[in-house]
């Protein structure tokens, strides 16, 4: 670390969702940040609209969900039309079925799954402002150099008149959230491996359309040729219009008149009236990821580390989970509480997940190319109809991670564990490395009810002590509390759970009666056996152990001195 009394801030390069979530997570952990963005203004184009359930959990833990719920909307039905007339409805369906909430998964996208990226970024920035932090526009990273203690970044500022100035800035760490074309990846020598669908092209525009219902996501398609899509945006009467070419590139339609003529001709809907184009962009589908997620003190998150087709709605959702995984680890190391080696677990955990996510989304893209108008079979992915449970991201896990510990063992075949990183182990017992289940109906000594999702904090490890109600229980719990007492201050909270009434609070621990048995049931706790579960700040199970020594072993992998 820096030899100065206060280490310099963390520099975040890129003001998109990944960068903003990284900033919010670090700030909540008491780590100062500076966030810069190359663009001179915030974008207002529609993209990244799908919100999966795990992302909503992250927003909840960061205190963002209440504001998001004010503007998020349900996924609207899709409707395809018969060509060449383009008016006869072939099918009406949903691109994915929202996940219904359950006691262990209380926060899902059933009440809302669609929110424009520029809308949610605005909410993130509003919360950043509460910490006195703003995104610095027209400021880009042009070079970085690292030493043993800090990173030296060269920044270029561009004024409204085009005048350029440079600045040298010292940072403790750099988080590159500057997208697929960003410089951070190049500066750390990471390669972007994979493929670009050069034969295909996508053209998207935000435009007002008269004569079309806003209750549906409209599609006209010729399999293996083209798809025209029109999806309502947050602005009444406006649609996000897309022309997707399979085997050809619609780049020549980057002209308002040409785009409208193409849509009229190919859909047969010449009565539709287009006006007030607010954005138009072109891109080619890419399925790429980096060979490494960090080098020294510089890290890559979001599109800077992985890009893929929009099928499956995994882009923004994966990006913010990169940042949520990384931030708590940087915070502990920044404060001098954790070993620097902790930071290597970011790549160890996220790289296998992203690899498999790319495989899944690339497969969905292939389905969209050979699209069909008939409904797919049960549990089969079809034409913009995604039934892959893994897309919810609720089963992503890190069972192979070098920093998790399970007294029952997670298996010795690391490659086999990594092969299940994305799809997980639905229906099986919870293990270290899995998402931490929720549990409602926890009643304290005063009769007040709460839930695990209200207890978990992005700034703390939450240690769940499942009280066995045996003669040895009191001594076993005291040993656990002594172990926690020796950990760095303000890094953990202890929750004691009992099957029969709220246990007595002790040594700063809070006791709850698991009144409906959800916590004991979801964590598969054996009767009469002390069980201790350490839930990380990112709401993943770090440890599943049976005594104080096991807990100490886990934290020896996290903290500098245990």
CATH number at residue 302: 3.50.50.60
Whether 119 and 161 map to the same domain: the answer is: yes
Q: What single string gives the DSSP state of each residue in 84-126?
A: TT--SEEEEE-SSPPPPPBTTB---GGG--B--HHHHHHHHHH
CB 562 within 8 A of CB 342: no
CB 299 within 8 A of CB 206: no
Give the pairing of strands 174-176 and 298-300: parallel
Give the pairing of strands 164-171 and 174-176: unpaired
Whether 158 and 272 map to the same domain: the answer is: no
Mean pLDDT score of the chain, rounded to an integer?
91
Counting Cα atoms < 13 Å in the Cβ hemisphere of 216 gives 15
pLDDT (tens digit, 9 = 90+) per residue, 365-406?
Answer: 665 544 444 555 555 555 566 566 778 889 999 999 999 999
Coil, strand or helix: which one is 518?
Answer: helix
Looking at residue 278, its pLDDT comes to 92
Domain membership flag for residue 404: no
Place of tokens 């104080």: 548
pLDDT (tens digit, 9 = 90+) per residue, 488-507?
Answer: 999 999 999 999 988 887 87
Domain membership flag for residue 82: no
pTM for the whole thing?
0.93
Please give the tally of structural domains in the chain: 3
Going by pLDDT thresholds of 50, 70 and 90, the confidence category of residue 2 is: very low
What does the buried/exposed string (b/e) look like for 215-250 if buried means 16 or more CB atoms within 10 Å of the residue's CB? ebbbbbbeeeebbbbbbbbeeeebbbbbbbbbeebb
Smallest Cα–Cα separation from 51: which of 31, 32, 65?
A: 65
Looking at residue 116, its pLDDT comes to 85
Strand stretches in 247-329, DSSP E: 273-283, 286-290, 294-295, 298-300, 306-307
Whether 280 and 294 map to the same domain: the answer is: no
Percent of the chain with pLDDT over 90: 76
Place of tokens 């262990």: 104
CATH number at residue 223: 3.30.9.10
Domain membership flag for residue 150: yes
Whether 302 and 172 map to the same domain: the answer is: yes
| Alpha-carbon span 552 to 549, nearest angstrom | 5
Domain membership flag for residue 147: yes
What strands, in cross-sheet order, belong to the sheet with 294-295? 33-36, 10-13, 174-176, 298-300, 294-295
**Which of these ranges, 21-25, 247-251, 355-359, 446-450, has the smallest mean pLDDT?**
355-359
268: left (phi over 0), alpha (psi -120 to 50) or beta: left
Going by pLDDT thresholds of 50, 70 and 90, the confidence category of residue 364 is: low
CB 319 within 8 A of CB 17: yes
Whether 37 and 142 map to the same domain: the answer is: yes
Domain membership flag for residue 88: no
Whether 330 and 468 map to the same domain: the answer is: no
Domain boundary (250, 284, 318) is at 284
Whether 270 and 339 map to the same domain: the answer is: no
Helix-then-strand count for the chain, H and E: 13, 26
Domain membership flag for residue 89: no
**Cα first-last separation, the chain:** 20
**Which of these ranges, 238-247, 327-336, 534-543, has the smallest mean pLDDT?**
238-247
| Alpha-carbon span 264 to 284, nearest angstrom | 23
| Alpha-carbon span 93 to 74, nearest angstrom | 13
- Length of the chain equals 562
Max avg pLDDT among 230-234, 332-336, 557-561: 332-336
For residues 46-73, average pLDDT: 91
What is the domain range of residue 235? 201-284
Question: 17: part of which helix (H) or strand (E)?
Answer: helix 17-28
CATH number at residue 543: 3.40.30.10
Structure tokens at 352: 């296998």
| Alpha-carbon span 468 to 470, nearest angstrom | 6
364 or 558: whose pLDDT is higher? 558
Looking at residue 387, its pLDDT comes to 61
Domain boundary (350, 383, 400) is at 350
346 or 199: whose pLDDT is higher? 346
Structure tokens at 330: 């940087």
Going by pLDDT thresholds of 50, 70 and 90, the confidence category of residue 241 is: very high
Domain membership flag for residue 561: no
Q: What single string gives the DSSP state of each residue in 246-263?
A: SSS-GGGG-SHHHHHHHH
24 or 45: whose pLDDT is higher? 24
pLDDT (tens digit, 9 = 90+) per residue, 121-138?
Answer: 999 999 999 999 999 999
Whether 108 and 163 map to the same domain: the answer is: yes
For residues 79-107, average pLDDT: 92
Phi, psi of 369 (to 5 degrees): -70, -45
Whether 181 and 263 map to the same domain: the answer is: no
Domain membership flag for residue 485: yes
CB 194 within 8 A of CB 288: yes
Looking at residue 374, its pLDDT comes to 52
Whether 152 and 277 map to the same domain: the answer is: no
Whether 279 and 291 map to the same domain: the answer is: no
Percent of the chain with pLDDT over 70: 94
Domain boundary (306, 334, 350) is at 350
Per-residue CA distances from 132 to 24, 129, 186, 279 (Å): 11, 5, 31, 31
pLDDT at 1 over 60: no
Whether 216 and 189 map to the same domain: the answer is: no
Looking at residue 368, its pLDDT comes to 54
pLDDT at 18 over 70: yes
Going by pLDDT thresholds of 50, 70 and 90, the confidence category of residue 75 is: confident
**Which of these ranges, 81-85, 150-154, 178-182, 285-289, has the smallest mean pLDDT?**
285-289
Structure tokens at 180: 């697929």
């Amino acid at each position: 670390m820096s030899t100065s009394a206060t280490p310099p801030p963390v520099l975040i390069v890129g003001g998109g969702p990944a960068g903003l979530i990284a900033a919010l997570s670090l700030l909540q952990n008491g780590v100062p940040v500076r966030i810069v963005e190359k663009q001179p203004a915030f974008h207002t184009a529609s993209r990244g609209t799908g919100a999966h359930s795990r992302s909503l959990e992250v927003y909840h833990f960061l205190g963002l969900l209440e504001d998001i719920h004010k503007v998020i909307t349900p996924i609207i039905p899709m409707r395809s039309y018969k060509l060449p007339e383009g008016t006869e409805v072939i099918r009406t369906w949903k691109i994915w079925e929202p996940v219904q909430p359950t006691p262990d998964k209380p926060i899902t996208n059933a009440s809302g799954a669609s929110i424009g990226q520029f809308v949610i970024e605005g909410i993130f920035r509003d919360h950043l402002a509460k910490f006195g932090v703003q995104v610095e526009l027209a400021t880009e990273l042009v070079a970085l150099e690292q030493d043993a203690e800090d990173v030296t970044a060269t920044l270029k500022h561009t004024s409204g008149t085009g005048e350029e100035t440079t600045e040298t800035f010292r940072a403790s760490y750099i988080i590159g959230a500057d997208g697929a074309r960003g410089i951070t990846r190049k500066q750390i020598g990471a390669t972007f491996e994979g493929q670009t669908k050069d034969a295909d092209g996508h053209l998207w525009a935000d435009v007002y359309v008269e004569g079309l219902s806003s209750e549906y996501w409209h599609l006209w398609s010729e399999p293996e040729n083209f798809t025209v899509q029109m999806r309502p945006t947050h602005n009444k009467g406006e649609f996000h219009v897309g022309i997707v070419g399979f085997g050809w590139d619609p780049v020549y339609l980057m002209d308002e008149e040409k785009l409208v003529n193409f849509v009229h001709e190919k859909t047969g809907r010449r009565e539709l009236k287009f006006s007030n184009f607010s954005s138009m962009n072109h891109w080619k589908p890419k399925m790429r990821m980096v060979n490494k997620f960090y080098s020294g003190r510089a890290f890559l998150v979001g599109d800077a580390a992985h890009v893929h087709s929009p099928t499956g709605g995994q882009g923004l959702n994966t990006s913010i989970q990169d940042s949520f995984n990384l931030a708590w680890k940087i915070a502990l190391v920044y404060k001098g509480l954790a070993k620097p080696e902790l930071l290597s677990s970011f790549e160890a955990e996220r790289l296998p997940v992203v690899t498999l996510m790319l495989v899944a989304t690339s497969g969905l893209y292939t389905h969209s190319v050979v699209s069909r108008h008939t409904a797919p079979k049960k549990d089969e992915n079809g034409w913009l109809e995604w039934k892959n449970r893994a897309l919810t991201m609720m089963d992503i896990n890190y069972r192979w991670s070098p920093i998790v510990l399970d007294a029952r063992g997670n298996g010795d075949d690391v490659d086999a564990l990594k092969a299940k990183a994305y799809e997980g182990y639905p229906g099986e017992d919870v293990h270290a490395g899995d998402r931490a289940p929720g549990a409602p109906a926890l009643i304290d000594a005063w009769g007040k009810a709460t839930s695990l999702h209200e207890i978990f904090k992005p700034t703390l490890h939450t240690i769940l002590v499942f009280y066995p109600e045996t003669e040895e229980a009191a001594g076993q719990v005291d040993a656990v509390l002594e172990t926690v007492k020796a950990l760095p201050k303000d890094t953990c909270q202890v929750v004691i759970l009992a099957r029969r009434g709220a246990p007595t609070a002790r040594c700063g621990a809070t006791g709850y009666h698991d009144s409906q048995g959800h916590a004991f049931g979801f964590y598969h706790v054996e009767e009469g056996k002390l069980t201790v579960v350490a839930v990380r700040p990112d709401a993943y199970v770090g440890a599943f152990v049976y005594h104080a020594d096991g807990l100490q072993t886990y934290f020896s992998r996290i903290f500098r001195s245990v």
